[in-house]
Amino acid sequence: MLPVVATRLRPPMRPGAAVPRDVLPEALSHLRSRRLLLVRAPAGYGKSLLMAQLYDALRGSGEAVGWTSLAEIGSSLHEVAMHCAAAASQVVPDLEQAMQTLFEAQRNVSPETVSAMLCNELEKVDGDFYLFVDDFHVLAATAAERLYECLLRDAPERMHFAVASRTEPSFSVARLRARGGLGEVDSATLRFSMHEAELFFKSSNSTPPSTELLELACEKTEGWPAGLQLLSLSVGSGHDWDKRVHGLSGSNRDVGAFLADDVFSAQSEDVQRFLLETSILRQFNSTLCNELGQRNDSRLIIQQLQRQGLFILSLDEEDHWYRFHHLFSQFLRKRLEEVNPSQPPVLHHRAAQWFRANRMLEDAMFHAFASQDWKYAASVLDDACDALFYQGQLLSLMAWVNQIPESVLHEYPRVQLIRTWNLTLEWRFEEAESVLGSVLKRFRELVDSDSITPEAAARLHRAYQHRKMMLALFSDDMRTVERMCVELLVDFPDDDPYLRGSVELCLLYALRELYRLEAVDRLDMAARGYFERAGSQFVLVWHESILGPALFERGDLAEAARGYRAAVAIAHGIAGHSSPLGAMPAVLLAELLMERGEYEEARLLWDQYLPLCDELGLVDHLIAAYVGRARLASLFREDETAESLLQRASRFASGKSFERLYWHVVAERIRRAIQNNDITGALRIAEEAKLPRDPAALHPSDQTTTKTETMAVAWIRLALARGFIKEAEALAKRWLAFASRRSCTRTEIRMTILFAAARLASADPRGATRALMDALAQAAASGIVLPFVEEGDAVKHTVATIYDLPEAGSDVAFTSALQQAYAARTDCSSKQSSQSMELATGAPATIEGRLSQREIDILEFVSQGLQNKEIADRLGLVEGSVKWYMQQIYAKLGVRRRLKAYQTAKALGLLR
pLDDT of residue 884: 66
Q: Which residues pair with 324 in a beta bridge?
A: 312
What does each C-alpha distance from 818 to 547, 577, 752, 784 come to in angstroms?
Answer: 28, 33, 18, 10
d(CA 863, CA 866): 8
User: Minimal CA–CA distance to 260: which of 242, 276, 246?
Assistant: 276
Q: What is the mean pLDDT of residues 100-117?
A: 88
Look at residues 460, 458, 471, 481 and name the one whose alpha carbon lies nearest to residue 425.
471
Name the CA dihedral angle for 758, 762, 767, 773, rounded to a multiple of 10 degrees: 40
Instruction: Look at 255-264, 401-410, 798-807 and tell me which has the smallest mean pLDDT.
Output: 255-264
Backbone angles phi, psi at 353, to 5 degrees: -65, -40
Q: What is the mean pLDDT of the chain?
A: 85
How far is Cα 866 from Cα 877, in angstroms, rounded to an integer? Answer: 14
From CA 429, how far away is CA 435, in angstroms rounded? 10
Looking at per-residue confidence, does 868 or 715 come out higher?
715
Strands of the sheet containing 36-40, edge to edge, are: 64-69, 129-134, 159-165, 36-40, 182-185
Average pLDDT over residues 515-540: 92
Q: With helix as H, strand as E and coil as C, how does 842-905 read? A: CCCCCCCCCCCHHHHHHHHHHHCCCCHHHHHHHHCCCHHHHHHHHHHHHHHHCCCCHHHHHHHH
**What is the C-alpha R_g of the chain?**
37
pLDDT band at 864 (very low <50, low <70, confident <90, very high): confident
Q: Is the pLDDT of residue 833 over 50?
A: no
CATH number of 853-907: 1.10.10.10
Q: Could you say which DSSP state residue 20 is in?
A: P
**End-to-end Cα spacing for the chain:** 65
Checking 356-365 for CB contacts under 8 A at 24+ apart, the result is 356/380, 360/3, 361/388, 362/2, 362/3, 362/396, 363/282, 363/283, 365/400
Long-range CB contacts (< 8 A, 24+ apart) of 723-732?
725/758, 725/761, 725/762, 726/762, 727/695, 728/754, 728/758, 728/761, 729/755, 729/758, 729/759, 729/762, 730/695, 731/695, 731/698, 731/699, 732/758
Q: What CATH number is given for 6-190 in this structure?
A: 3.40.50.300
Q: Which tens digit of pLDDT belongs to each residue from 622-656? A: 999 999 999 999 988 899 999 999 999 999 999 99
pLDDT, average across residues 535-550: 92
**What pLDDT band is residue 445 in, cutting at 50, 70 and 90?**
very high
Residues 370/348, Cβ–Cβ less than 8 Å: yes
Residue 633: CA count within 13 A, CB half-sphere: 20
Beta strands in 352-423, from DSSP E residues, in sequence order: none
d(CA 663, CA 627): 10
What local confidence, expressed as pLDDT, does residue 812 receive?
Answer: 46
Report, as an integer, the average pLDDT of 524-551: 93
Contact in structure between 895 and 838 (CB atoms under 8 Å): yes
Our measurement of the distance from residue 214's CA atom to the centroid of its chain's CA atoms, rounded to an integer in Å, reads: 59
Between 199 and 289, the more confident residue is 289
Asked if the model's pLDDT at residue 690 lies above 70, the reply is yes
Amino acid occupying residue 29: S
For residues 172 and 145, what is the distance between their CA atoms, to the nearest angstrom? 12
Q: Find the mean pLDDT for residues 874-891.
A: 74
Answer whether residue 251 shows pLDDT above 60.
no
CB–CB of 87/9 below 8 Å? yes
Q: What is the pLDDT of residue 854?
A: 77
CA-to-CA dists, residue 207 to 49, 233, 265, angstroms:
21, 11, 22
pLDDT of residue 413: 93
- Among residues 805, 802, 800, 796, which one has the least CA distance to residue 828? 805
Higher pLDDT, 491 or 317: 491
Higher pLDDT, 481 or 498: 481
- Strand-strand pairing, 312-314 and 322-324: antiparallel
Indicate if the pLDDT at residue 248 is higher than 70: no
- Dihedral class, residue 806 (left if φ above 0, else alpha if ψ from -120 to 50, else beta): beta
What share of the chain has pLDDT > 70, as a percent? 88
6-190 against 853-907: fold identical: no
**The predicted structure's pLDDT at residue 740:** 95
More confident residue, 777 or 772: 772
Can you tell me the distance from the alpha carbon of 603 to that of 564, in angstroms, rounded to the nearest whole number? 16
For position 231, what pLDDT does the model report? 74
pLDDT higher at 623 or 773:
623
Question: Which residues are within 8 A (CB) of 312 and not within 5 positions of it... i.e. 6 or more apart?
Answer: 302, 305, 306, 322, 323, 324, 325
Cβ neighbours, 10 Å, residue 603: 17
Give 118: exposed, middle or buried? Use CB within 10 Å, 0-12, 13-18, 19+: buried
More confident position, 556 or 851: 556
Q: Are 705 and 478 in contact (CB under 8 A)?
A: yes
Distance CA 180, CA 190 (A): 22
pLDDT in tens, 559-597: 999 999 999 999 988 878 888 889 999 999 999 999 988
Instruction: Give me the pLDDT at residue 247, please.
Output: 65
User: Where do the structural domains in the chain lie, given as residue ranges?
Assistant: 6-190, 194-265, 410-475, 477-536, 696-707+719-843, 853-907
With a threshold of 0.85, does the pTM exceed it? no
pLDDT digits (tens, 9 = 90+) for 452-484: 999 889 989 998 999 999 999 999 999 999 999
Of 523, 517, 514, nearest in space to 483 by CA? 514
Number of helices (H), then strands (E), belonging to the chain: the values are 49, 7
- 898-909 pLDDT per residue, tens: 877 887 887 777
Share in percent of the chain as helix, strand, coil (round to 5): 70, 5, 30
- On the question of pLDDT at 20 being above 80, the answer is yes
Confidence at residue 662, expressed as pLDDT on a 0 to 100 scale: 98
CA distances (Å), origin 244, targets 200, 241, 248, 889: 17, 5, 7, 114
The amino acid occupying position 724 is: F
Can you say how many angstroms the Cα of residue 329 is from the centroid of all Cα atoms in its chain? 39
Nearest to 9 by CA among 111, 115, 82: 82
Please report which helix (H) or strand (E) contains residue 324, including its range: strand 322-324
Most confident of 197-201, 234-238, 836-840: 197-201
Q: Give the pLDDT mean for 532-543.
A: 88
Q: pLDDT for 207-238, tens place per residue?
A: 776 788 888 877 777 677 877 777 777 676 55
Above 50 in pLDDT, residue 255?
no
- pLDDT confidence tier of residue 834, bands split at 50, 70 and 90: very low
